[in-house]
Amino acid sequence: MTELRPLSSSGLLVSPLCLGGNVFGWTADKTQSFAVLDAYFAAGGNFLDTADSYMHHFPEQGNEPGQSETIIGEWLATRRNRDDVVVATKVGDHPEHMGLAAATIKAAAEESLRRLRTDHIDLYYTHFDRDESIPVDEIITALDDLVKAGKVRAIAASNISPERLSASLAFSDREGLSRYVALQPPYNLVSRDTYEGARREIVRREGLACVPYFALASGFLTGKYRPGRTTENVRDLPGLAGGYADTERGVKVLDALEQVATARGVEMATVALAWLARQPTVTAPIASARTVEQLPALLAAQDLRLSDAELQALTTASS
């Protein structure tokens, strides 16, 4: 059984692999999504990540915002396991609730609660901090109101500048309001400067948890993208994964991953997630599975302990 770990100072206990819900209602229909959720939960996983906007960015595929939350809500209701699951969702990117104005945050939270069929959100992220004309004071105060009302247990931030993250934490401390307990940045073996540096230093100094997304670089770190090889993947956002294959760094990372994976008898995805999980401040990488068959390689990362030499080889290849 997976050993749960504390998510910073939130009081929440989470599994070391967070299951991404971005595929639910997109490349995985309700039946497939339920099967993946069942398998993840049966393996001891309890940490689900979604957003109110998933997956409105692909209307040509018939996608509408909120489908992922709706599927997760139906699963929680039918399985009657709400108290055993930590549900994280996000605000700020839904086409009808865009941005982080106080009224937008509160209205979007009500819609997320309705779709998730729950009376509280365990971890509520600001999804994108695009409009920096909105004071961090307004954002934090609105989020704190939701916590005081019992509708949110803990708050966090996703795509945010180091300066705004620091300012948000300082305002929370100064006013005695809820403070961010986690940061969700894009971070993986081929995208390190998106987190390492100022953001990681703030997370370390302030005692936050890092819950990185794009942990497998949109599938690139599974090894299915190689120079000269074409792979049709609707989840390549947009051309991101395939783009890494044409870089010297990308080739070096894949070679290093393959060497470690072969020696250990595991999948490359398992090694990539295990490397990420060992990085300073990281609590639980986020990875998604469209089918049950894709899940074991992700879950195996929780038990793979890379040696110092293996970690160094991967770090060097990705530098």
Query: Does the residue 133 lie in any domain?
Result: yes
Q: What is the pLDDT of residues 174-228, one digit of tens each?
A: 999 999 999 999 999 999 999 999 999 999 999 999 999 999 999 999 998 776 5
What's the sign of the alpha-carbon dihedral 105, 110, 114, 120?
positive
The catalytic residue among 40, 54, 124, 244 is: 54
Domain of 137 in residue numbering reads as: 5-184
CATH number of the domain at 120, please: 3.20.20.100
Pick the more confident residue, 15 or 55: 15
Query: Does the residue 88 lie in any domain?
Result: yes
Assign residue 265 a region: left if phi > 0, alpha if psi is -120 to 50, beta otherwise? left
Averaged pLDDT of the chain: 93
Query: Does the residue 198 lie in any domain?
Result: no
High-pLDDT (> 90) share of the chain, %: 87
Query: Does the residue 262 lie in any domain?
Result: no
Q: What is the pLDDT of residues 57-79, one digit of tens each?
A: 555 555 688 999 999 999 999 99
- Listed in sequence order, the residues at least 6 apart from 149 whose beta carbon sits closer than 8 Å to its beta carbon are none
Query: Does the residue 306 lie in any domain?
Result: no
Query: Does the residue 269 lie in any domain?
Result: no
Query: Does the residue 159 lie in any domain?
Result: yes
Burial class (CB in 10 A: 0-12, 13-18, 19+), 78: exposed
Number of domains comprising the chain: 1
Q: What is the pTM of this model?
A: 0.94
Q: Is 125 one of the annotated active-site residues of the chain?
A: no
Query: Does the residue 197 lie in any domain?
Result: no
pLDDT above 80: residue 161: yes
List the one residue out of 97, 92, 120, 141 whose CA is nearest residue 10.
Answer: 120
